[in-house]
A and B are shown apart, each in its own frame.
Chain A
Amino acid sequence: MQTAIEVTDLTVAYRDTPVLWDVDISVPRGVLMAIVGPNGAGKTTLIKAMLGLVRAAAGRTLIEGKPYAEQRRLVGYVPQRGSVDWDFPASVLDVVMMGRYGELGWFRRPGRRERELAFEALQKVKMQDFADRQISQLSGGQQQRVFLARALVQDARVYVMDEPFAGVDAVTERAIVTLLQELRSAGKTVVVVHHDLQTTPEYFDWVTLLNVRTIASGPVNEVFTEENLRKTYGSRVGFVAGIDSGLASAPGHQRAPGSRSIVNSIERI
């Protein structure tokens, strides 16, 4: 299996506090990977550091074997939708066309070809009817799909997404998952910052558990275990599992169902 993303010894600090410490991750090509961890674990910082948006104190990231700076064309980034002002004067199509700006380069304006590509990308996220809509009139789920379309129009090989499921309804979440799985089927590598442990094993086939350090990283069925989740979420899980009829200490528990009930108890907090 070839490696799509190789993160080595990545350390990021804000002032004196390390936000990421010595993170190593290796993502094979063609997987759908979730990055999970508690609040403040550095999930967003990790993907921003991978893309060079946050300065790393140490470490490096290789995309398909070369530094990110040389491989930008291969990477499509989907930031958190709350990171921009949606009252900006632009239409849905205008925003999606921004995905072509890297390819266009300096001084060239988007033209008919860019409009066509943007419209195709909107069809993939089922937003084609909204092409001329002003972006301030979109719902949260629609905003998210516009951001996805903007990344799709880049026709990247690696996609990096920051919480695409945050604040979207169940129908949109389904639609996004289907889209992500289609991307994987097309041989793309997709890395997603994810918050919902419950759906992690269902949606993803690869997972990185992060809490400042990498706790574990690998196939979901090997890595997404009760023990690793406890290491990632710390005392909170222990505490909850403790009152939850001594689940954690129950000897004969199988790994998969065990992790599922831990997940349930975390969800219930």
Chain B
Amino acid sequence: MEMIVMLFSDYTLRSIALGAAGLGIVSGILGCFAVLRRQALLGDAMSHAALPGIVLAFMLTGSRAPLTLTLGAAIAGWLGALAVLTIVRMSRIKEDSAFGIVLSVFFALGMVLLTMLQRSGQGGQAGLNTYLFGQAAALITSDVITITVLGAIVLVLLALFWKEFQLLSFDPEYAASLGYPVRILDVLLTSLIVMAIVIGLQLVGVVLMSAMLVAPAVAARQWTNRLSTMALLAGSFGAVAGVVGAVISATGRGLSTGPVIVVCISFVVLVSLLVAPGRGLLWEWLHHQVNQRRFASERHK
């Protein structure tokens, strides 16, 4: 209760909640497409790949401005995605191995750069390692503005190309037969997913960001059979988990935000997997019991 009052009165807490909500909505909605296209791993690879981009952006510009670092993250994330696609196309290495290679190589590179920076004693590096697991308490107004503006751009583009992305996710070959430039749409949708990832890095961190993409979508799929409803639900789940996690992390004793948010969204996933009507495990079990009873009684008539 005290926390809710604080949420509306405390300035820092309010901007953290706003930022987390924005991030949750964007990553939840975009995550639906990542999950439906079986690209959950791509999200993981891209978020890990963003780390060297963040560190390099800081090394080159000396600036900690969220937009600068986000740009670095986006470019590196994109290069990671491109590397995966190129490896799969040019070699006999399968997709899952390609994801594994890219994820670890980029992440290792990022860690090396990060420790180099620490050794060199550049005081300005303070805060960069919060990008590993995120730190809600470090969020300031300009970060919230960055999240909101980038998030709004992503959502507007998604709304414009909704019909095309739906078709692309369900049946890309048929989309191509209708004359849609499938390759370009694919690049556009992947770019939007990269954007959704990078805007969450400061809050959730590169290690666990893909959970913000995947978990809300998985939970939402349990409750509905409509894509639009799924997207709305996933956005809401993401927002709630984001706000609750960020607020707990910021008011608690310096807890990293990423893990706290992921614990929150995991709870939503767990409940959804168990009790969602139609697809939930508990529901299926009940349905099975009822059916068995019915068949048994019909046989005895």
Contacts and interface: CB of A to CB of B under 8 A. Distances in A.
Interface of A: 48, 51-53, 69, 72, 75, 77, 79, 83-85, 88-91, 94-95, 98, 101-102, 104, 106-110, 134, 136, 150
Contacts of B163: 101, 104, 108-110
Interface string B145-178: 0000000000000001011101101110111111
A89 B227 contact: yes
Nearest to A75: B177
Contact of B169 (A69, A77, A88): A88
B178 A88 contact: no
B179 A102 contact: yes
A53 B171 CA distance: 13
Interface stretch (B6-14, B71-79, B114-122, B218-226): B218-226
A69 B179 CA distance: 8
B171 to A, nearest CB: 5
Give the 5 A-B residue pairs with the shortest CB-CB distance, closest first.
A102-B178, A77-B177, A134-B225, A72-B179, A89-B227
Given A89-B230, A134-B225, A101 B178 contact: yes
A69 B180 CA distance: 11
Contacts of B221: 89
B36 interface: yes
Nearest to A70: B179
Interface of B: 36, 160, 162-164, 166-167, 169-171, 173-180, 221, 224-227, 229-230
Nearest to B178: A102
B173 A79 contact: yes
Residue of B169, B171, B180, B229 contacting most chain A CB atoms (<10 Å): B171
A83 B170 contact: no
A138 to B, nearest CB: 12
25 contacts: A48-B173, A51-B176, A51-B177, A53-B176, A69-B179, A72-B178, A79-B171, A84-B170, A84-B171, A85-B36, A89-B226, A89-B227, A89-B230, A91-B225, A91-B226, A95-B170, A98-B171, A101-B164, A101-B175, A102-B178, A102-B179, A109-B163, A110-B163, A136-B225, A150-B174
A21 to B, nearest CB: 23
A73 to B, nearest CB: 8
Contacts of A77: 174, 177
A150 B227 CA distance: 18
Contact of A83 (B167, B173, B175, B224): B173
* Most chain A beta-carbon contacts within 10 A, residue among B163, B180, B224, B229: B163
B89 to A, nearest CB: 12
A77 B167 CA distance: 14
A134 B230 CA distance: 14
Given A72-B177, A83-B173, A101 B167 contact: yes
A95 B178 CA distance: 14
Contacts of A85: 36, 170
A89 B36 contact: yes
Nearest to B227: A89
A134 B229 CA distance: 14
A85 B174 CA distance: 13
A85 to B, nearest CB: 8
A65 B63 CA distance: 61
A110 B175 CA distance: 15
Contacts of A108: 163
A98 B36 CA distance: 17
A119 B187 CA distance: 33
From B162, B164, B179, B226, residue with most partner A Cβ within 10 Å: B179
A98 B167 contact: yes
A88 B164 contact: no
Given A89-B36, A101-B175, A102-B180, 5 more contacts: A51-B177, A72-B177, A84-B171, A89-B224, A91-B225
Given A53-B173, A72-B178, A98-B174, A106 B227 contact: no
Contacts of B166: 90
A163 to B, nearest CB: 14
Contacts of A89: 36, 221, 224-227, 229-230
Contacts of B226: 89-91
A106 B230 CA distance: 23
Contacts of A48: 173
A69 B176 CA distance: 11
A102 B177 CA distance: 9
Contacts of B177: 51, 53, 72, 75, 77, 79
Nearest to A102: B178
Contacts of B171: 79, 83-84, 98
A113 B122 CA distance: 64
Contacts of B160: 107
